[in-house]
Structure 1
Amino acid sequence: MKFENKTVIVTGGGTGIGKTTAKRFFEEGAHVIINGRREDVLKKTALEIDPSGKKVLPVVGDISLPETSKKIVQVAIETFGGIDVLVNNTGKFNPTPFLEHTPEDLQSYLDTIVKGTFYPSQAVIPEMKRRGGGAIVNTGSMWAIQAVEATPSSAYSAAMAGRHALTRNLAIEFASDHIRVNTVAPAVVETPIYNTFMSEEEVAKVLPGFNAFHPIGRNGTPRDVADAILFLASDSASWITGIIMPLDGGVTARLR
C-alpha cells in the first residue's frame, strides 16, 4: 500500500471529494484525520470509512481560525506521531452575479478557501520539516483558470486563484525542505456541493446538462479527483511541485 503508516490530514473531509479522498488514503494504509464544521457528518464519515475508529479520526472546527489547524496538528502528533500529507480541500460554491455579492459573502469565500489553505499549511509545515519532508495537495478549481459564463462565480474564482497562488509560492519557498505543494483544478464534479443552492430535483435536471461541457463527454466524480490527489501526494510524483493540474475532461485544453 502506497501510504502505509503515513499520516494524512484532509480538510473538508466529511462529504464529496474530501470524503472519497480520505477513504482512498485509508485504503492505501494511511492514518487519516478529517476536519469539518459539522460534527455529526464528520463522525459518521469517520466511522463509515473505518468502523474500528482507530485509523480515521474526526477533528471538528472552523478551518478559517488558526486554532483549528493547531488542534488538528496536535491530534495528529499525539495520536499518530507526525504528519506526512495535508489535503486542503475546503470550499464553497454558489454562482452569484458580481454585483450581487455582499461584503459578508466575499469574506466567507476568503475564510473558507484562502484562510482554509493558509492556516493549515502554516501549521503542518514545521512538522513536515522535522520529519524531513512531506506533501501538500490543494483542491483548486477550473473557475480560477477560466471564467464560465453559465456560472458567474467571481468571489469563488478569486478565492481559488488565491489557493493557486499559495501553491506556487509555498512550492518554491519549501522545496529545499523536501515539501512538495501542488493543486488539482477540477471542472464540474458531481458532489453534494450543488445541493447547497439547488434542490435534489434541480440537481438531477441541471448537472447532466454539463456532461457535454467537457470534451471527454462526462462530468467528473469524486474518485476522479481523489485518485489525482493521491498521485500528487505519493512518491510517484516526487519530482512534481508547484503545478496546477487541470482535472476537467479537456475543457481548458479546448479554450487555450
Structure 2
Amino acid sequence: MSHHTARIDLNSDLGEGFGRWTLGDDEALLSIVTSANVACGFHAGDPAIMRRTCETAAARGVVIGAQVGYRDLAGFGRRFIDVRPGELADDIIYQIGALDAFARVAGTRVRYVKPHGALYNAIVHHEAQAAAVVAAVRSYDSGLPVLGLPGSAWLRQADAAGLKTIAECFADRAYTPEGTLVPRNVTGAVLHDPRQVAERSVRMARGQPIEAVDGTPLTITADSICVHGDSPGAVAMAFEVSEALKANGIAPAPFVEGNG
C-alpha cells in the first residue's frame, strides 16, 4: 500500500450459515466491512443465505466477492481435497456464477474472487490447483480482481495471467517468520485480544512491521485486511479494527473502484 493513500479495505467471510444453522453476525459485520467474501454454497451457504447476504451488502454499499472453496459442506471447506485441476476449475466457475446470479438480482455484481479455507492455503504452494483457479476466473471474467496471500503461487500465477491481484493480511492470525499463516491447529494461531488485533492492523496498514509468532519483525504489504466473521467476539473485533484505523487517519474503503 502506498503511503500517500491513507485507506485500506476491510474484508470478511460472510454468508456461512447453511439451512437452519447460522454462523456469524452478518447483519452487524455488513455495517463495518467494505468487502464481503460471500460463501457460494460449496463450503457453506445456500441459495436463501446467498440472496439475503447479497441484498444486505448491496443495500449498504459493501462490495461482493465470491468466496470459492472445495465442495465440502461437512468439513466447512477446511480439509484439503485432491481435486483434478479441470474439475476444480469447473467447480470455481459454478460457484462464481451462482453468487453472481444473486448479486445481479440484488442490483450489483460479483466484483472479485477470494478462495476459502483449505483451498486458500493449498494454492499458496500447490501450482496445479492455483493454475486451475486462475483459469476459472479468467474464463468467467478476466476483469475480476483476485484476493490472496502475498507471495503465494495463486497471486503470482494470477498476475502472470493478467488478472488484477490484491494482497491481503490477517488482523487476527499469527504469522510465521516466512509470512505465511500459522496453521489453525497450532496454539496461538488465532489472536483474541481486540486491542492487540486493532494495533496490529494499524501497523500493517501503515506498512510497519508486526511480530511473527517467534518474535521476529515481519513487514506485510497489503491492500486489504481480513477480519474474521465466525469467531466469538468477531463483530467487536472488526469494529475495534475499523475504529483504530479511522483514529489513525486511515479510511476503510473497498479496493474495487466505483459501483459498476
Whether the TM-score (by the shorter chain) exceeds 0.5 is: no
Given the two structures, how large is their TM-score scaled by the length of structure 2? 0.38
Higher relative contact order (CA 8 A, sep 6+): 2
Given the two structures, how large is their TM-score scaled by the length of structure 1? 0.39
Q: Higher helix share goes to which structure?
A: 1
